[in-house]
Amino acid sequence: MNLYKLLADLLKIQNKIQEAKTHIELIYKIRFENQWRIDLELLDLVNSYNIDKNNIHTAKELMRDLKKTWETLKFGDQEVLRGIIKIIISEGKAGFVETENKKSYFFSTKDFKGRRDLIKEGLKVSFFLKDSFDKKKNQPTKNAVNIKPIFN
């Protein structure tokens, strides 16, 4: 809960009031749905954001809505890249994704956001890049992360 409160505080500082409010709603709804104690500090926050406690989505719906906010916070203004899974290696635990301009990036299947049975060579995907280090080449590199299948 403290993480969501911290995110709400940071978003409020950035004048992203609606996103901050949604994080407070999430804290309240998680506590409410699990029948956990709701302390005075949380009730004060709920009141300060003018949250109608009877008109909050479920925690699951709130988390779904916040995923885009979290993605933006994590990857900033980084461009979403597109490509295809070129090759799967390491007994299906990793592979390489190739962009439309033929650049290849290593990825771990743990960074795939979708059903595991979809990870196949030739699958169109979108992804972001993350700084990494190639131990074999002893140099900094970029890895593909947050890999999502594209269906169209």
What is the full DSSP assignment across 102-133? S-EEEEEGGGB-S-GGG--TT-EEEEEEEEEE
Work out how many domains the chain is built from and give that number.
2
Q: Per-residue pLDDT for 90 more than 80? A: no
Q: Per-residue pLDDT for 97 more than 90? A: yes
Are residues 86 and 120 both part of a single domain?
yes
DSSP state of 47: H
Domain with 117, as residue range(s), is 81-149
Are residues 94 and 69 both part of a single domain?
no
Are residues 16 and 40 both part of a single domain?
yes
pLDDT (mean) for 6-12:
94
What per-residue confidence (pLDDT) applies to 150? 93
* Angstrom distance (rounded) from CA 21 to CA 48: 9
Kindly report, residue by residue over 109-128, the tens digit of the pLDDT: 999 998 888 899 999 999 99
Answer yes or no: pTM beyond 0.75.
no
What per-residue confidence (pLDDT) applies to 16? 92
Average pLDDT of the chain? 93
Q: Per-residue pLDDT for 44 more than 90? A: yes
Q: Per-residue pLDDT for 152 more than 80? A: no
